[in-house]
Amino acid sequence: MLIFAALQPVYGAISDRVGRRPVLMFFGIFGTLCTVPILSTLAGMAGNKDYTSALLLSLAALLIVCGYTSINAVVKAELFPAGVRALGVGFPYALANSIFGGTAPLIALSFKDAGHESTFYWYVTGLIFISLLVYFFMGDTKKTSLIDRDWD
What is the DSSP annotation of 78-136?
HTS-GGGHHHHHHHHHHHHIIIIITTHHHHHHHHHHTT-TTHHHHHHHHHHHHHHHHHH
Determine the number of helices (DSSP H) and then strands (DSSP E) in the chain: 7, 0
pLDDT for the residue 28: 98
pLDDT for the residue 76: 86
Question: Looking at the predicted structure, is the pLDDT value of residue 31 above 70?
Answer: yes
Higher pLDDT, residue 87 or 77: 87
149 pLDDT band, cuts 50/70/90, is low
Higher pLDDT, residue 13 or 83: 13
Question: Looking at the predicted structure, is the pLDDT value of residue 101 above 90?
Answer: no
pLDDT for the residue 145: 66
31 CB-near residues (< 8 Å, 6+ apart) = 64, 65, 67, 68, 125, 128, 131, 132
Determine the average pLDDT of the residues in 47-56.
88
pLDDT in tens, 125-145: 999 999 999 999 988 776 676
Give pairs for 10-19: CB < 8 Å, separation 24+: 10/66, 10/70, 11/66, 11/67, 11/70, 11/71, 12/70, 12/71, 12/74, 15/70, 15/71, 15/74, 15/142, 16/142, 19/140, 19/142, 19/143
Cβ contact 73:81 at 8 Å? no
pLDDT for the residue 147: 63
pLDDT for the residue 100: 87
Determine the average pLDDT of the residues in 19-29.
96
